[in-house]
Structures are given as structure tokens and as C-alpha cells.
Amino acid sequence: MKLLPITLIAIGAAALPGWAFAATDGDPQKGKEAAVVCVACHQADGTGKNNPNGESWPQLAGLDAAYLAKQLSDYKSGQRENATMKPFANMLSEQQVADVAAYYSQLTPSQGQGGENADEATLARGEMLAQRGDWADYIVSCKSCHGPGNQGAGEAFPGIAGQHAGYIEAQLKAWQAGTRKNDPQDLMGTIARRMSDEDIRAVAAWLSTQPPQSN
């Protein structure tokens, strides 16, 4: 059995308040009913959509239930800001947040979009950053936190393999700019601020071409 580094265990434990455990009490069937408000952007099957020239909506299918519950709770509280998501999150009660998270966590993800037309050099740079990092620029690899294959590691580190490139790029830029701050110990902000725009595009493209996490 592969053990997580003690630092990641400590960070993960610190990032797990009551909502994380409440998410395990979610009812997927009730979540399917409550998630009707999510379909317009995230699709009926939770696979989201990549929009090359506009806002991309993330694939939720197969993501960890506790992670999803935290994001919805953060939208409700304002800890994570998004003008589109906040009104929809506010429609949900705490129990419905757990139900919706449980529902999406049980769906099967599809292949991400947005990196299929990237050139070889871009994909090679993206693979390096995701798998090995770039220690010359103090950029830690994605898999150091997001786990083997970047398929997720517990409640704090979601699966990012197979996620849409447009969404990954937008989130890295948000952490870079400081407009998203709800990650444990500013891990993502610290890494994103060390990345160039080309690095962000490259890692987003490569991750989108990888097999999505299995549930």
C-alpha cells in the first residue's frame, strides 16, 4: 500500500470540517432530483462542457463527494466566488448539498476536452509539469498532491485527469490572480503564481487528454 506523505495527511485532516463527514450521508437519488438546477451547465450526466472561447463548466461526474460538498458550501458562504454558481448553490439546503455531491460522485466521467489539438511540445511540457514538476522554477508536480495518475487523493485533492482544459486553465489563473483562495494552505495559489501562461495552458491541455478518475 502506498502511503501519503505525512505533510499531505496533516493538510488533508486540517481541511476536513464537519461538511466532509456529512457528505457521506448524502442520498444520490434525492441528489439527482435536486441537481436539476445544475443540468444547464454541467449536463445531465455531469460531464460539463469545454468552451474554447468562453466559460468552461467542469466535469463533476466521479469527483469525491466530500470535495464536491465543500465547493458547494464555499459558494454558499462566499469563500469561493463565482457569480454564476452562487445563486444555484444558495438554492440548496445543507442536506441537498450532501445529496447532490453524493449523486455526482457516483456518475461515470467521460474524457475531457480541450487538449486534443495541442501540439507535441505543449503536451510534453504539460506532462512534465503534471508528472515531475519543474524544480528550476519551484513548481511542484500535480501528482504530488492529486495522487497517482492525478486521479485524486481524498477530500482535499480532486481528480484532475480528464477534466476539461478550459476549466483547469481558468482555475489556475484564478489562483494565480488571487480570486480563488479556498485551497488548503494556499498550495494551489503558491504553485500557480510560479507558472507562466504557457505553463498553465500546457498542463491544462495535457491533463484533459488523460484517462479520467474511475469510481
Burial 3-33 (b: 16+ CB within 10 A, else e): eeeeebeebbeebbeebbebbeebbbebbbe
Distance CA 156, CA 68 (A): 10
Q: Is 42 marked as a binding-site residue?
A: yes
For the CA atoms of the chain, what is the radius of gyration? 16
The answer to whether 128 and 76 have CB atoms below 8 angstroms apart is: no
Q: Is 146 marked as a binding-site residue?
A: yes
Q: Note the residue count of the chain.
A: 215
The answer to whether 34 and 100 have CB atoms below 8 angstroms apart is: yes
Q: Is 164 marked as a binding-site residue?
A: no
Helix (H, G, I), strand (E, B), or coil: what is residue 49? Answer: strand
Q: Is 91 marked as a binding-site residue?
A: no
Q: Is 188 marked as a binding-site residue?
A: yes
Nearest to 208 by CA among 115, 142, 110: 115
φ/ψ (deg, to 5) at 159: -65, 130
Q: Is 145 marked as a binding-site residue?
A: yes
Q: Is 38 marked as a binding-site residue?
A: yes
The answer to whether 37 and 69 have CB atoms below 8 angstroms apart is: no
Residue ranges of the binding site: 38, 41-42, 85, 142, 145-146, 188
Residue ranges of the binding site for heme c: 38, 41-42, 85, 142, 145-146, 188
